[in-house]
Chains A and B, each alone.
Chain A
Amino acid sequence: MKRGPTTPIAMAMATPILMLLAGPSSFADTTAIVGATVHTVGPLGSVDDATIVITDGRIAAVGAGISVPDGADVIDAAGKVVTPGLFTPRGSLGLEEVGLSAGPLDAVQRGEQFSASFDIADAFNPRSTLIAVNRIEGVTRALVTPEAAAADETGAASSVISGLAAVVNLSGGRSSLDRRGAALVVNLGEYGVPQGGTSRAAALLQLRNALNEAGDYRQHGAAFELGQHRDYALSLTDLEALQNVLTGEVPLLANVDRASDIAAFASLVASYGIRGIVAGGAEAWMHAGELVAAGIPVILAPAANLPTNFDRLNARSDSAALLTAAGVRVMFADGQGHTHNARNITQSAGNAVVAGMTWNDALRAITLTPAEVYGVADRVGSIEVGKEADIVIWPGDPMELVNYPEQVLIRGIAIEMTSRQTLLRDRYKNLDEDKPPAFRR
């Protein structure tokens, strides 16, 4: 089994999981997790006393009654609960450290009218301190998204089109970038007003114009190159970037809350024959039918039940249950900010369950559904043979807030279960020692 570096603190953590290590540099690279109740979120469903065999970072076998290969490192997980790694469907992991008055803050781009080609993957920092904080609590994959912001002091605003999002893994290493251009972020309704002008209609118009120009460019690109076609408001790079949206390869991820704006977005998606995602979606439940018809999934923060603005007058905490029952695919973001506490998506899931969603649907919402929506379900999102082994071992129900992961594996590697926060905790756990805390590591 591959493992990250082991520090004395990690050893002192007294994790109840027993690991029998063949050696840190073993090339056998087969690990077996045995004895747990495994929620595969795949065709096998949930399996008691299951065995998962991981070879070279991928799942080689999963199920009950599977024998452990000779020479495998064995993780005894009897009595534990195993889920796929969690997938947070939006946020700024790796794009920011401290939002206010500190930085860096790389999610926002201002001063460009259109930004379809703005690719957030180029700003992603896999070594951000936020990565370890979130991965030890089970988050193994994330969509990292460009974000809109109000105009700065120079008057420079960000665009209705914020740019391309990327799927990343939280391994913290060089190969953390899983997929560039997994979605194109746009801002409608109240989110689009500061970007589009003075009315939400202007934001929608800008988006339509962009798609129309891209469509025109697709047909007349050759003539345009020869200077024999009309000019475009968009830059060439933006027009190129929008081609994958028109083909349906890259979905539009729209920040939008109000029912009428969601309906307009669903109509736009249907009329262009493209793919869409609603994020926010406070009033999405009021147009579930249109969302189903247009194949649009919704990213919700189930805790956000208040009418914090007039786009959210009909926000309610049982949205996830209503949408799921209607056939809309649902994902969860943390209700208190999508980045530093991306780890709290389990709380969102648990609260959706008590508001009427099934437990299995809620687990799917934080694992497989985002993987499907962002086009990486062939690699992650469930515990199925052939997929990368993102696995979380819990002491019990992952949605119960008293339960924290005992071990997380990303692409088959058991990560070091420490973060800057656990180091701080251990430094200050005892305040009565001889030397000041700075002398303790």
Chain B
Amino acid sequence: MRQSLLIVLAAALPLVACAPSTESDDDKAFTGRYQALESGATLLKGATVLTGTGERIENGDVLIADGKIVAVGESLADGDAEVVDANGKWVTPGIIDVHSHLGVYPSPGTASHSDGNEATAPVTAEVWAEHSVWPHDPGFVTALAGGVTALQILPGSANLMGGRGVTVKNVPGRSVMDMKFPGAPHGFKMACGENPKRVYGGRNQAPSTRMGNVAGYRTAWIEAADYRDKLAAAAEGDDEAPLRDLKLETLAGVLDGKILVHNHCYRGDEMAVMLEIAKEFGYKVAAFHHAVEAYKIADLLAEHDACAAMWADWWGFKMEAYDGIRENAALVERAGACAIIHSDSAIGIQRLNQETAKVIGAAARAGIDVPPEVAIRWITKNAAKSLGIDGVTGTLEQGKMADVVLWNGDPFSVYTRAERVYIDGALVYDRNAPGANPVTDFSLGTAAGGVR
């Protein structure tokens, strides 16, 4: 089954499809061995269905079988599927968080668990977040209860280039290899602004300014382009291949479009600068994260097809977050750009639907109507797009992975909870059967272990 998924994914992903046809050493390492849990056929019947494609179906049915969405519509035949009465309930695609540090900054947040920032040099493109992920972080399970079916785990933002992110299915495994989202491209974490200049400037080394930051990115891309040229020359037989370099391999992967840039960047003016750098070196920004000022340059984001991943309302905890407004995502959406609500938090990831609701309300206050079928895309389809997995998940469409949430009401009501969460068609969380839900190793034996 995994083989076929890879083919679907490659066909659906222009960024992957345009990659060089020769398989590099990079492609063979750490490919993951996620296997979907066993599942039967299920028919969710009579729900309000938000498909993630922008459509809303009243009294809708969703039929899943063999781990896939078979059909979405009205009055579907159940065949031999288990029928779940979803009357009065809502069904959405699985929630996807593009910005998580679960596993790399797990609970408990002890110093010995601090594995998210290789803050020893401003460019550490050679590190991979997946090599830090602790799968027993209780946060995976609490996120699951919030309907999260996939997430990207990123290195932190201490560095200009912090390393590769990994996209996982939210099915706790014994190692991250059991969780890696089949065929998902790697992300690449970059960071603008205060964090790198504070971390390194504080040690009296570069970068200590925003202009130092920019010089750092450009210097790295120049090295990467040179490395890539040498690899190409070697492939042509013109030259000897350079010694494999993990740092430059990652950067070259970005320039080849195989690895997607996720750029922590709060301020609008800095995002504009980063788009210039992307243009200079010929890469694309998949998404700006923590894009607190995305609303100031929403048109520019639309022009560059760069997503903005945002909090609903975090602001002011640092200077570059001072201009945060609640309507940010709605203004990005209205400008025709790709809006995403992300968490960056083991608490926030549990209720991305609520964070989205805050934006819906704030937008209404400003005279902007955001219907639920549009807002749901901020935490499903648009998130999947930025991760390069929208060909296989993120919407309820025939043939896609059956990553589905059944909510016990309108997902944008504070009183609503995820009632059932399916990943690849398998029921992995059932609010009404807590005894069957996963409990991570760390939570074993705690009085609250199963009821977080």
Chain A positions within 8 Å of B, measured between CB atoms, are 14, 97-102, 130, 133, 286, 303-310, 312-318, 335-337, 340-341, 344, 347, 350-351, 353-354, 399-404, 421-422, 424-426, 428-429, 431-432, 437
Q: Is the interface of A mostly helix, strand, loop or mixed?
A: loop
Q: State the CA gap A350–B360 with chains docked (Å).
A: 17
| A98-B316 in contact (CB<8A) | yes
Q: Is the interface of B mostly helix, strand, loop or mixed?
A: loop
What residues on B are CB-neighbors of A303 within 8 Å?
347, 350-351
Q: State the CA gap A312–B451 with chains docked (Å).
A: 14
| A101-B194 in contact (CB<8A) | yes
| A314-B414 in contact (CB<8A) | no
Most chain B beta-carbon contacts within 10 A, residue among A315, A350, A424: A424
What residues on B are CB-neighbors of A306 within 8 Å?
107, 138-139, 142, 346-347, 452
| A429-B314 in contact (CB<8A) | no
Question: B345 on the interface (CB 8 Å rule)?
Answer: yes
The listed residue (A307, A341, A354, A426) touching B415 by CB distance below 8 A is A354
What residues on A are CB-neighbors of B446 within 8 Å?
307, 313-314
In the complex, residue of chain A having the shortest beta-carbon distance to the beta carbon of B295: A428
Most chain B beta-carbon contacts within 10 A, residue among A133, A286, A402: A402
The listed residue (B110, B299, B442) touching A432 by CB distance below 8 A is B299
For the complex of A and B, list the 6 residue pairs with the smallest distance between their C-beta atoms, beginning with the closest.
A350-B414, A402-B361, A316-B448, A401-B357, A100-B318, A340-B316
Q: A307-B442, A401-B361 are in contact. Are A425 and B299 (CB under 8 A)?
A: no
Q: State the CA gap A97–B360 with chains docked (Å).
A: 27
Could you tell me the distance in whole angstroms from the C-beta of A182 to the nearest C-beta in chain B? 25
| B324-A316 in contact (CB<8A) | no
In the complex, residue of chain B having the shortest beta-carbon distance to the beta carbon of A282: B448
What residues on B are CB-neighbors of A400 within 8 Å?
357, 361, 413-415
Q: State the CA gap A317–B141 with chains docked (Å).
A: 14
Q: A341-B313, A400-B414 are in contact. Are A336 and B361 (CB under 8 A)?
A: no
Q: Mark B293-321, 1 if CB is under 8 A from A, else 0.
A: 00110110000000000000111111101
Q: State the CA gap A319–B273 with chains docked (Å).
A: 47
Of B5-13, B16-24, B125-133, B362-370, the segment with at least 4 beta carbons within 8 Å of chain A is B362-370
Could you tell me the distance in whole angstroms from the C-beta of B321 to the nearest C-beta in chain A? 8
| B365-A404 in contact (CB<8A) | yes
Most chain A beta-carbon contacts within 10 A, residue among B299, B316, B327, B331: B316
Q: A305-B452, A307-B107 are in contact. Are A354 and B417 (CB under 8 A)?
A: yes
Could you tell me the distance in whole angstroms from the C-beta of B113 to the nearest C-beta in chain A? 10
In the complex, residue of chain B having the shortest beta-carbon distance to the beta carbon of A348: B414
The listed residue (B295, B322, B357) touching A98 by CB distance below 8 A is B322
B91-149 interface (Cβ within 8 A of A)? 107-110, 138-139, 142
Could you tell me the distance in whole angstroms from the C-beta of B101 to the nearest C-beta in chain A? 13
| A431-B107 in contact (CB<8A) | no
Could you tell me the distance in whole angstroms from the C-beta of B118 to the nearest C-beta in chain A? 21
Q: A306-B142, A404-B365 are in contact. Are A336 and B345 (CB under 8 A)?
A: yes
In the complex, residue of chain A having the shortest beta-carbon distance to the beta carbon of B358: A401
Q: A336-B348, A400-B414, A401-B414 are in contact. Are A421 and B318 (CB under 8 A)?
A: no
Question: B335 on the interface (CB 8 Å rule)?
Answer: yes
Count A-B contacts at CB 8 Å.
145
| B345-A402 in contact (CB<8A) | no
| A401-B298 in contact (CB<8A) | no
Q: State the CA gap A130–B322 with chains docked (Å).
A: 10
Question: Can you offer 21 A-B residue contacts whose CB atoms are under 8 A?
Answer: A98-B317, A98-B318, A303-B351, A306-B452, A307-B442, A309-B110, A315-B452, A316-B448, A336-B347, A350-B415, A353-B414, A400-B357, A401-B357, A401-B412, A401-B414, A402-B361, A404-B361, A421-B326, A425-B366, A431-B298, A437-B296
In the complex, residue of chain A having the shortest beta-carbon distance to the beta carbon of B367: A14
| B108-A335 in contact (CB<8A) | no
What residues on A are CB-neighbors of B452 within 8 Å?
305-306, 315-317
Could you tell me the distance in whole angstroms from the C-beta of A60 to the nearest C-beta in chain B? 30
| B361-A403 in contact (CB<8A) | yes
Could you tell me the distance in whole angstroms from the C-beta of B155 to the nearest C-beta in chain A? 20
In the complex, residue of chain A having the shortest beta-carbon distance to the beta carbon of B448: A316
What residues on B are CB-neighbors of A341 within 8 Å?
313-315
Q: State the CA gap A162–B414 with chains docked (Å).
A: 35
| B327-A347 in contact (CB<8A) | no
What residues on B are CB-neighbors of A314 within 8 Å?
446-448
| A402-B357 in contact (CB<8A) | yes
Q: Mark B317-343, 1 if CB is under 8 A from A, else 0.
A: 111011111110001000100000000
Q: State the CA gap A316–B360 with chains docked (Å).
A: 28
What residues on B are CB-neighbors of A318 within 8 Å?
451
Question: B247 on the interface (CB 8 Å rule)?
Answer: no
Q: State the CA gap A307–B440 with chains docked (Å).
A: 12
Could you tell me the distance in whole angstroms from the C-beta of B439 to the nearest C-beta in chain A? 12
What residues on A are CB-neighbors of B321 within 8 Å?
98
| A307-B108 in contact (CB<8A) | yes
Q: State the CA gap A437–B107 with chains docked (Å).
A: 43
Could you tell me the distance in whole angstroms from the C-beta of A150 to the nearest C-beta in chain B? 12
Task: Supply 19 further A-B pairs (C-beta < 8 A) apart from A314-B447, A317-B452.
Answer: A98-B321, A99-B317, A100-B194, A102-B319, A130-B316, A286-B447, A307-B446, A315-B448, A336-B347, A336-B348, A340-B314, A353-B415, A400-B357, A400-B361, A400-B415, A402-B357, A424-B295, A424-B323, A424-B325
